[in-house]
Chains A and B, each alone.
Chain A
Amino acid sequence: MSGLLIQGLINGLILGAIYGLIGVGLNVVFGVLRVVNFAHGEFLVLGAYFAYFLMEQAGVNPVAALPLAFLVFFAAGYALYYVLIPRLSRSDDPELSSLLLMFGVSIMLGALMLLVFDADARTLPFSIEPVFLKFGPVLIPSVRLLALAIALATIGALAWFLYRTQVGKALRAIIMNRDAVRIVGINAERLSAVAFGLGIGLAGVTGVLVALVFPSFSPFMGNDYTLIGFIVIVLGGLGHPVGALVGALLFGVTEQVSVVFFNPSIATILGFALMVGMIFARPTGLFGQRVLR
């Protein structure tokens, strides 16, 4: 039993780190723009297809595809910001409108992927030797450990960017007060486009990791990942990358350890009960901050 428990814990940590990356991407977009990006999961699945086709067509190793995915998805997100988001400010309720808009984008992207890639689930034909690493009674797929290391390194790099660079500090500042950012001479629109690009770029990177870690992916999986992202934000708190990681680890570990003891349905219930409990006990999440706007 203890071996299974450790296995569950480690799986929870690995999935938690990937969930954390999903949450961080959503967190940046929601924190800066107050845009509920319902299409985050679809962008993530697109990232998985990006890695798949790079490997299939050009033989590019998925690990090498990661920076490429970030750059391509960042550029796409940056451009898409100007197409989609500025018009929302003309709405009476921009946050609600953003939710509906991105829900529409999510459906469109899902349908587009279905059209282009078909409904068949795909598997990334990638493995590293040895396929499994054995730690006592625990057996861990090497590729999952690699994904864990990449996810943690990406979150670390993002934290460095947000806390140590001027653009990162400005991104955090705009979450706190949009007008104050403008009065110190910062172009809030451009900064918002950077935030949107960053969120989509992270979705692309996460998609590559998802393709590495999970057995398959398909055009129908976007909503599931978006939902996980929102759970992570609720648990960790808005505007805090470390909070997103901690929230995600909590969710991942709860889910995976529960699977060891209970029926998978109960594990799902427990994961969501954690979210509901957090909303009741601490609506701002573990690391949440009051937002001044």
Chain B
Amino acid sequence: MLRVTNLKKRFGGLTALQGVDLHVPRRAILGIIGMNGSGKTTLLNCINGLYVPDEGRIELDGQPIGGLPTHEIARRGVGRTFQVPRVFAHLSLLDNLDVAQQQTPRSAEERQSQSEYWLHKVELYRLRHNHAEELSGGQQKLLELARIMVARPKVILLDEPFAGVNPSLAQLLISIIREVPTEHDCSVVLVSHDLTSIYQLSHHIIVMNEGAILCEGDADVVRNDERVVEAYLGA
């Protein structure tokens, strides 16, 4: 599905990514953890085209997507959310989701139906006519998730989806993310500082440190890796 090979990104003298490799199979959840500044968000920005990588290859279903414009990568099936949600603040929730379906060949009725389905799913349907700016931060994260899912992506990149979200909304997010691969045939790349959620959800976990992969494996492998305990947990 999504394959990243030897990805490098520099900002002046700072090397943000120094040869990252990863593979996200179809219908899998890849968790990425790491300290602040370890390169997690830069990695997502390179995958979805907000940054142009200096070196390396990014492929989706075997097709290179590295260096393409962001909108082209999105059209090919890569969705993205941000740590600070970037909803369309003065549009209604329904319009937020309608705009996200502009590139689909759906009729107005189909778009409406998809929007309503996802607003039900994220439990915001009753607020569908409200402006997005009226939502809490956690609700905006749910709306942002719904906004990328209405386009039926192949892979979604979620950047800190649980940060600043109250526990009940976080549980809702977790349950939706968990069913995304199976119910919507979509892979997930999940960046989070919330280790519990990462361990619960991820099929495979990558630990990043200073722009490189420190270790990877399933939750048990990562939990017991001495380098991770030392570098990430500080113990």
Interface residues of A (CB under 8 A from B): 166-167, 169-170, 172-173, 176-177, 179-188, 239, 289-290, 292
Contact between chains at A169 and B86 (CB < 8 Å): no
Knowing A184-B99, A184-B100, say if A172 contacts B71 (CB, 8 Å). no
Interface of B is mostly: loop
Contact between chains at A183 and B89 (CB < 8 Å): no
A and B contact pairs by CB, cutoff 8 A, 5 listed: A169-B95, A182-B70, A183-B80, A184-B148, A186-B103
Interface residues of B (CB under 8 A from A): 48-50, 69-71, 74-75, 79-80, 86-91, 95-96, 98-103, 147-148, 151
Knowing A169-B98, A186-B99, A186-B102, say if A176 contacts B71 (CB, 8 Å). no
* Contact residues in A for B70 (Cβ distance below 8 Å): 179, 182-183
* Contact residues in B for A185 (Cβ distance below 8 Å): 71, 74-75, 100, 102-103, 151
* Contact residues in B for A167 (Cβ distance below 8 Å): 102
Contact between chains at B79 and A166 (CB < 8 Å): no
* Contact residues in B for A176 (Cβ distance below 8 Å): 88-91
Q: How far is the CB of B2 from chain A (nearest CB, A)?
A: 16
Contact between chains at B89 and A187 (CB < 8 Å): no
Known: A169-B99, A184-B102, A290-B89. 20 other contacts (CB 8 A): A166-B99, A169-B95, A169-B98, A170-B102, A172-B91, A176-B89, A176-B90, A179-B86, A180-B86, A180-B88, A181-B71, A182-B69, A182-B71, A183-B70, A183-B148, A184-B103, A185-B100, A185-B102, A186-B71, A186-B102
Of all chain A residues, the one with the shortest Cβ separation from B144 is A180
* Contact residues in A for B147 (Cβ distance below 8 Å): 184
* Contact residues in A for B71 (Cβ distance below 8 Å): 181-183, 185-188
Of all chain B residues, the one with the shortest Cβ separation from A182 is B70
Of all chain A residues, the one with the shortest Cβ separation from B48 is A183
Q: How far is the CB of A131 from chain B (nearest CB, A)?
A: 45
* Contact residues in B for A239 (Cβ distance below 8 Å): 90
CA distance A188 to B8 in the complex (A): 26
* Contact residues in A for B148 (Cβ distance below 8 Å): 183-184
Of all chain A residues, the one with the shortest Cβ separation from B132 is A176
The 3 closest A-B pairs by CB, nearest first: A185-B74, A180-B86, A184-B100
* Contact residues in A for B99 (Cβ distance below 8 Å): 166, 169-170, 173, 181, 184, 186
CA distance A177 to B100 in the complex (A): 13
* Contact residues in B for A180 (Cβ distance below 8 Å): 86-88
Cβ 8 A contact of A177, one of B49, B74, B88, B98: B88
Of all chain A residues, the one with the shortest Cβ separation from B86 is A180
Of all chain B residues, the one with the shortest Cβ separation from A190 is B71
CA distance A185 to B96 in the complex (A): 13
Contact between chains at B50 and A184 (CB < 8 Å): no
CA distance A290 to B87 in the complex (A): 14
* Contact residues in B for A170 (Cβ distance below 8 Å): 99, 102
